[in-house]
């Protein structure tokens, strides 16, 4: 069964737009996580950024105390956040590139160019009982390097696929890249997740990508929730995912 991890960053973004710097405010991302779990989500994803633009430290600690499924902490490979992860002990960490000026995570990690540093962090997190995923583009060199770090998972960046979706030729090209990367990763012993730009329209095309374990989706679910409510939005996404052949 293909699993759904709901990214609640955008709930925190809405809160921070009105209550930045406050110890309270609405909407509460932790309450959103509760609703997502009750609706059937298999895990909760939150990105603790260095600049704390949406998720705050208090959020991740409350999430750790509250959720009953699986906490996936997205984070940059920087000492401050690594130290928090080691104390927080999420079930899994997804290491992502992070730039201050980007609106959301743009592109994947250059694992091949930072092999030693990522391997060291992976070992440190694994020693603490935390699984590690690397957020990468569907590129053969990056898949191979990810396996060399000893990480348990990769998360394939589906942003290029999502951006190309309206163009049949480009969509087919990006889908082929995802298929090749998933097959390569599986052959190397890596588990395969995917995420970025996935929505209710483009999701079905991912049925062609083999070996997927989990999809991490945030913006599209939170956007639909404005009109349908969060519980319904999560259930609608899960219904679409049910057709994945596994």
Question: Which CATH number characterizes residue 15's domain?
Answer: 3.20.20.70
Q: Which domain holds residue 13?
A: 3-241
74 flagged as catalytic: yes
Give the whole-angstrom CA distance, residue 135 versus residue 144. 13
Sign of CA dihedral 51, 54, 58, 61: negative
Q: What is the pLDDT of residue 106?
A: 62
Q: Band of the pLDDT at 107, cuts 50, 70, 90? A: confident
Coil/strand/helix, residue 225: helix
Q: What is the pLDDT of residues 158-197, one digit of tens each?
A: 999 999 999 999 999 999 999 999 999 999 999 999 999 9
Count up the domains in the chain and report the number.
Answer: 1
Domain presence at residue 54: yes
Q: How remote is the C-alpha of 77 from its chain's centroid?
A: 15
> What rounded mean pLDDT belongs to the chain?
96
Among residues 47, 54, 157, 191, which one is catalytic? 47
Contact in structure between 25 and 55 (CB atoms under 8 Å): no
Q: What is the mean pLDDT of residues 73-98?
A: 97
Q: What is the mean pLDDT of residues 92-121?
A: 85
Domain presence at residue 246: no
Coil/strand/helix, residue 65: helix
Among residues 10, 37, 42, 74, which one is catalytic? 74
**Can you give the length of the chain in residues?**
246
How distant, in Å, are the alpha carbons of 13, 91, 199, 238 from that of 70?
22, 6, 22, 16
Q: What is the pLDDT of residue 120?
A: 98
**pLDDT > 70: what percent of the chain?**
97
pLDDT score of 98 more than 90:
no
Domain presence at residue 136: yes
Domain presence at residue 196: yes
155 flagged as catalytic: no
Domain presence at residue 214: yes
Question: Angle at Cα 106 formed by Cα 56 and Cα 34, nearest 5°?
Answer: 40
H, E, C per residue of 77-138: CCHHHHHHHHHHCCCEEEECCCCCCCCCCCCCCCCHHHHHHHHHHHHHHHHCCCEEEEEECC
Among residues 42, 157, 191, 196, which one is catalytic? 196
The pTM (predicted TM-score) of the whole model is: 0.95
Q: What is the pLDDT of residue 127?
A: 98
196 flagged as catalytic: yes
Q: Band of the pLDDT at 105, cuts 50, 70, 90? A: low
Contact in structure between 9 and 218 (CB atoms under 8 Å): yes
Q: What is the pLDDT of residue 104?
A: 54
Give the whole-angstrom CA distance, residue 43 versus residue 33. 9
Domain presence at residue 174: yes
Range of weakest confidence among 68-82, 92-106, 132-146: 92-106
Q: What is the pLDDT of residue 100?
A: 56
| Bridging pattern class, strands 212-217 and 191-195 | parallel
How distant, in Å, are the alpha carbons of 7, 38, 45, 66, 105 from that of 35?
12, 5, 14, 12, 25
């Amino acid at each position: 069964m293909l699993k759904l991890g709901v990214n609640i960053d955008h709930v925190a973004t809405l809160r921070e737009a009105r209550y930045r710097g406050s110890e309270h405010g609405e909407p509460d991302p932790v309450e959103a996580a509760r609703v997502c779990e009750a609706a059937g989500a298999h895990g909760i994803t939150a990105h603790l950024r260095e600049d704390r633009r949406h998720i705050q430290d208090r959020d991740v600690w409350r999430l750790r105390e509250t959720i009953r499924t699986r906490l996936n902490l997205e984070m940059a490979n920087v000492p401050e956040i690594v130290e928090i992860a080691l104390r927080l002990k999420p079930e899994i960490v997804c290491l992502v590139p992070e730039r201050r000026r980007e609106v959301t995570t743009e592109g994947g990690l250059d694992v091949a160019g930072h092999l030693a540093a990522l391997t060291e962090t992976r070992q440190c997190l694994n020693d603490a009982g935390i699984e590690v995923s690397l957020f990468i583009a569907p590129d053969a060199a990056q898949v191979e390097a990810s396996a060399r770090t000893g990480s348990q998972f990769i998360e394939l960046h589906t942003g290029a696929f999502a951006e190309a979706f309206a163009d049949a030729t480009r969509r087919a090209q990006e889908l082929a890249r995802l298929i090749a990367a998933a097959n390569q990763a599986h052959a190397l012993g890596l588990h395969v997740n995917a995420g970025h730009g996935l929505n209710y329209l483009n999701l079905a095309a991912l049925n062609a990508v083999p070996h997927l374990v989990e999809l991490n989706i945030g913006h599209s679910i939170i956007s639909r929730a404005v009109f349908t409510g969060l519980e319904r939005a999560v259930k609608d996404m899960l219904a679409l995912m049910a057709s994945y052949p596994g």
